């Protein structure tokens, strides 16, 4: 098992947000994590990468206990993050956003600059421009590029389609399917259910901090009551 969460409980101060979340992800597979706004999807990601360490339960990566480990330790072990809201450094240029990831990744080898520019030619055009001046779509491409520059074995994506035009969403979908083809494992958080189901091997549905469904995309697609109750579709 590449990634496993075992009974994770996470709090913000006194507010108990995750109530014993467990999930598993095998190498090379894609897991979609779905759920309504406020269900706890981002908190699950934050619990994995050490932004908000779980108060109890365990996070295992490649069999090692990484519960509450520092973000840089996880990055160096091979976890990449494309965060919700993209979180591009506004005061660094496009080139610097990438260089930072390449430099800090240590001995891992991730996407080279050539590979990044071949995948996203627009980033080459905008190499010298500050992160704050990019459009939403360009920011999302940069967020993916810079996460891949770290050389991850597991990529966490938190709502990569959020706020993007349909054309860009389609492009992001193509990139994710290509990454899957190459054997990268992904944990994909999405509100855009069709996009998620088009790449996922396994789906988990989160509601009020608890997993209420896990199964194949087909099983979820067939369960109208479940979709209505927990996804509002």
Would you tell me which residues interact with ligand ADP (CB under 6 A)? 12, 15, 17, 35, 37-43
Q: Which does 18 bind (CB under 5 to 8 A by kind): Mg ion, other proteins, ligand ADP, none?
A: none
Q: Which does 148 bind (CB under 5 to 8 A by kind): other proteins, Mg ion, ligand ADP, none?
A: none
Q: Which residues, numbered 98-157, are part of the site for other proteins (CB under 8 A)?
A: 99-101, 103-106, 146-147, 149-150
Among residues 190, 92, 193, 204, the alpha carbon closest in space to that of 146 is found at 92
Planar angle of CA 53, 58, 64, nearest 5 degrees: 105
Q: Which is nearer to other proteins, 16 or 87 (CB)?
A: 87
Q: Which is nearer to Mg ion, 84 or 207 (CB)?
A: 84
Residue 85 Cβ, how far from ligand ADP at the closest point, in Å? 11
Q: What is the largest CA-CA distance in the chain?
A: 50
Q: Which is nearer to ligand ADP, 40 or 78 (CB)?
A: 40
Q: Is 71 in the site for other proteins (CB under 8 A)?
A: yes
Q: Is 74 in the site for other proteins (CB under 8 A)?
A: yes
Is 43 within 8 Å of 79 (Cβ atoms)?
no
Other CB atoms within 10 A of residue 16 CB: 12
Could you tell me where the beta strands, DSSP code E, fall in 56-184?
Answer: 56-61, 64-65, 79-82, 154-158
């Amino acid at each position: 098992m590449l990634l496993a969460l075992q009974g994770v409980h996470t709090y913000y101060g006194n507010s108990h947000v995750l109530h014993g979340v467990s999930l598993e992800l095998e190498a090379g597979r894609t897991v979609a994590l779905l759920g309504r706004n406020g269900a706890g999807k981002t908190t699950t990601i934050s619990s994995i990468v050490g932004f908000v360490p779980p108060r109890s339960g365990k996070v295992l990566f490649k069999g090692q206990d990484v519960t509450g480990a520092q973000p840089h330790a996880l990055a160096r072990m091979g976890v990449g993050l494309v965060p919700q809201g993209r979180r591009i450094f506004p005061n660094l240029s496009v080139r610097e956003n990438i260089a930072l990831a390449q430099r800090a990744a240590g001995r891992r080898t991730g996407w080279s600059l050539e590979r990044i520019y071949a995948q996203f030619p627009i980033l080459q055009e905008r190499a010298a421009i500050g992160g704050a001046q990019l459009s939403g779509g360009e920011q999302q491409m940069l967020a993916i590029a810079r996460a891949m520059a770290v050389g991850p074995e597991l990529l966490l994506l938190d709502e990569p389609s959020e706020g993007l035009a349909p054309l860009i969403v389609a492009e992001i979908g193509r990139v994710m399917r290509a990454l899957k083809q190459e054997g990268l494992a992904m944990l994909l958080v999405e509100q855009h259910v069709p996009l998620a189901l088009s790449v996922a091997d396994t789906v988990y549905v989160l509601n009020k901090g608890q997993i209420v469904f896990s199964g194949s995309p087909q099983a979820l697609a067939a369960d109208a009551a479940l979709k209505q109750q927990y996804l509002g579709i």
